[in-house]
Amino acid sequence: MSGNVYIYILVMAGVTYLIRLMPLTLIRKEINNVYIKSFLYYVPYVTLAVMTFPAILGATATIWSGLAGFIVAVLLAYRGGNLFKVSLLACLTVFIIELFVPGVH
């Protein structure tokens, strides 16, 4: 990476600012389209999922133990488990798989 690091930071700041500024300046009235409203409603959830999922798989010794913990967490959350129960059982699943499955650790 040759060049002045301050130029990179300035360009990055400008792009970030423009991305946040453009909707404020281009869209002046309320959005009434149902499909666009639905899309905008789910954007934060999808963004969080996209950032979290690779971290779940990479935080364990192998992808398989992370995937097993993820599956347990999704199933328990889908069945209405509270946050403490879901996280505890997902961590316990990863621990048991990494402890007892040969070749995982």
Tens of pLDDT along the chain (105 residues) come to 567 889 999 999 999 999 888 888 888 888 888 998 898 889 988 998 899 999 998 998 889 999 999 999 999 999 999 999 999 999 999 999 998 887 655
Is the model's pTM score more than 0.75? no
Inter-residue contact 57 to 63 (CB < 8 Å): yes
**Per-residue pLDDT, 101:** 80
Q: How far is CA 75 from CA 64, 87, 96, in A?
A: 16, 12, 18
- DSSP category for residue 71: H
Residue 26, both tokens: 């281009």
- Ramachandran region of residue 80, left (φ > 0), alpha (ψ -120 to 50) or beta? left
Torsions phi, psi for 69 (to 5 deg) = -60, -40
- Amino acid identity, residue 90? A
